[in-house]
Amino acid sequence: MYDAGVEEGQPMHPTPEDTRLTYDDFLLFPDDGKRHEIIDGVHFVTPSPTVRHQVLVGRLYYAIESYLREHFATGRVFFARLDVVFTRWDVVEPDLLFVAADQSGIITEKNVQGAPVLVVEVLSPSTRKTDEQIKRRLFEREGVREYWLVDPEFDVVNVFRRKSDGSFPRDGELSRETHDVLTTPLMPGLSIPLAELFAST
């Protein structure tokens, strides 16, 4: 286990003579109110979130936490900022993550060390490419079972779900416009209407 001049939302690539950044480097990043992450040893910086972003994260957390109070043996939900250490070169801080009861051993005092069953990111203009491409590939590689991409611009949620063959395709796009409801086999009985999730703030 691990001891737990950049444009915002863009990676900072090490110079050719540098080695990849590691979790030890991550611990030295400034506590400046921004989200710092490393993926494959590359540094990503995200600006402070918007009000709408935080409202959506809060509503999702409340829905899942309320569910877990009635199904306490299912697992635990966490919100940023909490480090998820996949490897020495891959440390991220998802907006939300759910750790199932049968994997509670990955929760340490400082961080989560391993793949949560569910990761949730709320998109913003500065993180869209990272969340849709780079993080999705990381989560696919490291064994995350579900990935929700919440898009406040279009009021949709894209769900990536692990298949029995190990693939990690987009399983569906849910929309507020068509009155879809967000559910997951990871938490049977959880139901989040998108009309409520994306309601005006």
- Name the average pLDDT for the chain: 91
**Which of 2-11, 39-48, 146-155 has the weakest average pLDDT?**
2-11
In terms of residue numbers, what domain contains 122? Answer: 48-197
38 is a domain residue: no
The model's confidence at residue 3, banded by pLDDT at 50, 70 and 90, is very low
* The predicted structure's pLDDT at residue 2: 45
Q: Is residue 128 exposed (0-12), middle (13-18) or buried (19+ Cβ within 10 Å)?
A: middle
Residue 100: inside a domain, yes or no? yes
- Say if residue 102 is exposed, middle or buried (CB neighbours under 10 Å; 0-12, 13-18, 19+): exposed
Position 56 in a domain: yes
Gap between the Cα atoms of 181 and 195, Å rounded: 8
Task: Report the distance separating Cα 46 and Cα 186, nearest Å.
Answer: 29
Would you say residue 36 lies in a domain?
no
d(CA 78, CA 191): 18
Q: What average pLDDT score do residues 27-32 get?
A: 90
Q: Residue 117 is part of a domain; what is its CATH number?
A: 3.90.1570.10
Q: What is the pLDDT of residues 46-84, one digit of tens each?
A: 988 899 999 999 999 999 999 999 998 999 999 988 999
CA angle 168, 148, 182 (to 5 degrees): 110
Give me the percent of the chain exceeding a pLDDT of 90: 82
Greater confidence (17 vs 104) lies with: 104
Tokens 């967000």 sit on residue: 182
Residue-level pLDDT at 67: 97
For 134-178, what is each residue's pLDDT tens digit?
A: 999 999 999 999 999 999 999 999 999 999 999 999 999 999 999
Look at the chain and report how many structural domains it folds into.
1
Non-local (6+) Cβ contacts of 70 within 8 A are none
Q: Is residue 10 part of a domain?
A: no
